[in-house]
Structure 1
Amino acid sequence: MQGQPKEEHSMSKPFTEADGISVSDSTPVMTFSPVVLSVPGRIVDLQIKVSAPSTGSGLPVILLSHGHGPSNFISSLHGYGPLADFWAAHGFVVIQPTHLDSMMLGLRETQSPEAPLYWRSRAEDMRYILDQLDHIEAAVPGLGGRIDKGRIAAVGHSLGGLTVGMLCGQGVTDPVDGKEVNLLDPRIKAGVLLAAPGRGEDLSAFATEHYPVLRSTSFANMTTPALIVVGENDWSPRFSNRKDWRSDAYYLSPGPKCLLTLIGAEHGLGGIASYDAAETTDENPERVAVLRALVWSYLRSALYPEDAAWHKVCVELKNTPNPLGIIECKSG
């Protein structure tokens, strides 16, 4: 007896990379990995993947920090292809580290005081990459002399959002010694926090027990310009009873900041972590296309103030019937 036919998934319209949002022309991408960096005191070497357009010079940089997800390889340099590939195709050098909390390293269950999140090490990974940009540029064939080291942004999803927030001035307190930690890095000119944790005061009892560092998050000194991206339906009582908790980085930090709320999105923001994988509960290629195009536009204008890309897409989105996202900004 034959089984029931498998239901086919179809999109309502042909897929486009940016869903109609104005971006630059796409170019072929070259990817090189792993670049292995030996970091003093780090339990294992720091491995990174570098993706870059095959042509062009004076290229800006995005440091892309993965989340703390359950998959073996997505939360590593191997993940987030829908974002890294797009941004590299449209003019950025994208650098992706494998942080110590990645499942592929098997270090989450160790007795390290930083396990399982390795929250401090994550930010230090990003800072070390910036220290080693000359070495990284020389190690990647065809990349030498093409990076603009004065135009650097950082993007992070979920726990990666905390990592980027810390680099932008977000404060935390070390739960082991009670000391305040400040890892603001002025080399990072703009940040993008995707579905990042909110204010520590509103953390749930469960998260406080399992992830105590999140209890102390504060945004009062997060001064670096940033775009905060949240899913309209990204809420879990395991982290907070407040349904707008992940918007705190926008409302509780000084400007300039912008907030992008993706309509109907959950924590995976449509599936940014990988191509066609069950890492997300709200798979939606159109949503991913909109997100990455809007982030591209924001970073273009943040790193090149004369570039009107962000203003243009804000106007486009406002005038779009039934938009997939809503943007608001503040200057102070």
Structure 2
Amino acid sequence: MKKFLRYLGLGLLSTFLTSTPGLAAERISFFYPPFGEFSLSVDSLETFAKVGKIDQDFSFYASRATPQQLAQLRDLLQQRFNITPTLVSQVTYSPIGEEVVQQLGKLLLTESRQNGFYAIRASLILAAADREGLTVVNLLRKFPSNTMRVNFTEGLRIVDDLSQLLKKKDEVVASLQKEAIAQAANSTVDFSKQADLRSPGKFRWQKKSLELNDVSRSRRLPVDIYLPTTQNSESTDQNSPSPPFPLIVISHGLASDRSTFVYLAEHLASYGFAVAVLEHPGSNAKRFQQYFAGLASPPEPEEFINRPLDIKYLLDELQRLEKSDPTLHRKLNFQQVGAIGQSFGGYTVLTLAGAKINFEQLRQDCNTNYSSFNLSLLLQCEASKLPQKNYELKDDRIKAIMAINPIDSLVLGEGGVSQIKMPVMLVAGSQDIFAPPVFEQIRPFTWLSDPNKYLALIENATHFSAIAEPTPENDILPVPPALLGPDRDAVYSYLNALSVAFMETHLLNRPEYRSYLQPSYATFLSKEPLNLSILQSLSVAQFNQIWSASIPQSTKLPNPQPTPR
């Protein structure tokens, strides 16, 4: 109740603040050594934003920009972000939000050259509550200091470090693509004459919805089950699945729900897999809707434990229901269970496969901020707040996993990931800024010890490329088109094909599907600009060789720490 009142109070406070007069930034100032201090009036920026006029104050800077850069600047200044003051309050008062604003405050200082944390948070809330809405100019107008000082030296360092990091990322991706192409050249398989795994299979299926209630943890779990039916099945393959059907569990990412991977569930069901897609109530879309409305606290660190426990409970309940529910009776094979997860769901399935939380790694790196460009660390470091003990999250019923854009570099680390002893496929997008591929998928791929491991790398794919189009129920925060990436249909087709091939090979032990997991199949599937590459091996030494050139201190890779067994 106290938490509820606190978060509700933040929303009310943001509205109250709009009626409180105060200072406003009149100028932006920055020091550019060795040339000295420069400044620009907010009025000049506002005039440029509204009517496109460049006055004398702004002309000094405008003359050094191209017409295209000026047009982009004006677009940015005019952009209105339609978010409520309650939402801004909720986010900026959350632990992750405070960390983001704290980092931003190192760049945007007050007139007395102090970290702009409190000033930025106040101006964000006030601008969002203003009738003109949250714009860059309005943000400056609400900044409670006559002058906003920009830490230009720090800004240049960040830009330089980011440029170097992106260059290194591109080099790593290009090197892996080159290796995959070289391996594909040795293949003699003509995939144009093979079954097309991108197309639906021969099974029809039925959807069954349940709501499970784990009383011991006070968690209600909505679940959709996609169950193949043998009636009117078009399958003539004697080796194709038959009741009891192999079972695949799908775990969604943060602020999502069970509709996110409907396309994948339906596709797998058409190949004879029973698919259970659940929602994690502590981090699903509904929870974030309540949080953004001021009716709930942000997701708790315990979600790192509760998510895998949700799936363990789901499997327990399905085993119980399979004996009593006529629609499930003898339909599910609990000796052949696979799991697929995306983002936070990727972490979830990795823990179910045997990876353990690496508290030593979290303790070492969560306070050092070694990489300010890996946004997933803001979430991963929340796990450091958990009581440190040996959580038993592995589920022996699960025999193979696919992790799409997983987050794992710190919360699991090498010590955790290396404990996985089953087939794993990691899927990475080269333009993923929320779970950067080098840190979160490519390097962790080298830590996997099982020989049956695969890295699927999709060029130009983002963190959202694998996710289905949002529904009105889960469209919490509209994602800018630039973050969605190119047309996602190609990515859907890749995942449809690869998930069938991977599960047929490693869950059903059907070696005839193994050729679909070769680099040559990725070459066959690839469509510009979302080129697909598959690697089956990459050693730590090979990765280090690619990454060996000098990189900025803020992007140094952490030293892996062991995880207690």
Same fold (TM over 0.5): yes
Q: Deviations over 1:174-229 (max 9, x none)?
A: 523222434121110001100001311xxxxxxxxxxxx57898312122221111
1:104 maps to 2:286: yes
1:281 to 484, 492, 498: 484
- 1:248 counterpart residue number: 443
Q: Deviations over 1:63-109 (max 9, x none)?
A: 1001003xxxxx22333211111111221111111112113146767
Deviation larger for 259-268 or 133-142: 133-142
In structure 2, distance between residues paired with 1:22 and 1:51: 18
AA in 2 matched with 1:99: H
AA in 2 matched with 1:93: A
In structure 1, distance between residues paired with 2:466 and 2:272: 23
SS for the counterpart of 1:308 is helix
- 1:157 counterpart residue number: 342
Query: Structure 1's 308 and 22: CA in aligned 2 closer, same or farther, altered over 3 A?
Result: farther
In structure 1, distance between residues paired with 2:200 and 2:514: 13
- 2:254 counterpart residue number: 68
SS for the counterpart of 2:314 is helix
In structure 1, distance between residues paired with 2:312 and 2:525: 42
In structure 1, distance between residues paired with 2:229 and 2:266: 12
Deviation larger for 310-319 or 144-153: 310-319
| Shift of residue 167, structure 1, vs aligned partner | 0.5
Aligned residues of 1:50 and 1:95 also touching (Cα < 8 A)? yes
| Shift of residue 291, structure 1, vs aligned partner | 1.4
Aligned residues of 1:317 and 1:325 also touching (Cα < 8 A)? no
Query: Structure 1's 149 and 274: CA in aligned 2 closer, same or farther, altered over 3 A?
Result: farther
| Shift of residue 133, structure 1, vs aligned partner | 2.1
2:533 to 323, 326, 329: 326
- 1:36 counterpart residue number: 211
In structure 2, distance between residues paired with 1:25 and 1:322: 21
| Shift of residue 304, structure 1, vs aligned partner | 1.9
In structure 1, distance between residues paired with 2:425 and 2:316: 24
In structure 1, distance between residues paired with 2:413 and 2:514: 34
Aligned residues of 1:234 and 1:243 also touching (Cα < 8 A)? no
- 2:330 counterpart residue number: 145
1:264 to 460, 470, 477: 460
Matches within 5 A, 1:1-332: 20-21=196-197, 25-33=201-209, 35-55=210-230, 56-69=242-255, 75-100=256-281, 101-105=283-287, 115=300, 118-137=303-322, 142-172=327-357, 173=359, 175=384, 176-200=386-410, 218-236=416-434, 243-256=438-451, 257-272=453-468, 281-282=484-485, 283-314=487-518, 316-317=520-521, 320=524, 322=526, 324-330=531-537
Aligned residues of 1:80 and 1:274 also touching (Cα < 8 A)? no
| Shift of residue 58, structure 1, vs aligned partner | 2.6
Aligned residues of 1:198 and 1:247 also touching (Cα < 8 A)? no
Give aligned pairs, total: 293
AA in 1 matched with 2:263: P
More strand as a share of residues: 1
Query: Structure 1's 312 and 117: CA in aligned 2 closer, same or farther, altered over 3 A?
Result: same
AA in 1 matched with 2:268: W
In structure 2, distance between residues paired with 1:104 and 1:217: 34
Q: Deviations over 1:100-137 (max 9, x none)?
A: 2113146767569x616712111001111121223343
Query: Structure 1's 321 and 330: CA in aligned 2 closer, same or farther, altered over 3 A?
Result: closer
AA in 2 matched with 1:292: N
Normalising by structure 2, report the TM-score: 0.47
Q: Which structure has the larger Rg over C-alpha atoms?
A: 2
Q: CA RMSD in A?
A: 3.3
Query: Structure 1's 275 and 311: CA in aligned 2 closer, same or farther, altered over 3 A?
Result: farther
In structure 2, distance between residues paired with 1:111 and 1:322: 43
SS for the counterpart of 1:132 is helix
Q: Deviations over 1:16-41 (max 9, x none)?
A: xxx944667332221111x1222132
Deviation larger for 51-60 or 162-171: 51-60
Aligned residues of 1:82 and 1:275 also touching (Cα < 8 A)? no
More helix as a share of residues: 2
Query: Structure 1's 153 and 181: CA in aligned 2 closer, same or farther, altered over 3 A?
Result: same
In structure 2, distance between residues paired with 1:273 and 1:115: 27
Normalising by structure 1, report the TM-score: 0.76
Unaligned residue ranges in structure 2 (runs of 5+): 1-194, 231-241, 360-382, 540-565
| Shift of residue 288, structure 1, vs aligned partner | 0.8
| Shift of residue 166, structure 1, vs aligned partner | 0.4
| Shift of residue 318, structure 1, vs aligned partner | 5.2
SS for the counterpart of 1:52 is strand
AA in 1 matched with 2:389: K
In structure 2, distance between residues paired with 1:216 and 1:25: 37
SS for the counterpart of 2:462 is coil
Unaligned residue ranges in structure 1 (runs of 5+): 1-18, 70-74, 201-212
Aligned identity (percent) is 21
Query: Structure 1's 272 and 292: CA in aligned 2 closer, same or farther, altered over 3 A?
Result: farther
| Shift of residue 139, structure 1, vs aligned partner | 6.8
SS for the counterpart of 2:493 is helix
In structure 2, distance between residues paired with 1:274 and 1:304: 32
Aligned residues of 1:294 and 1:310 also touching (Cα < 8 A)? no
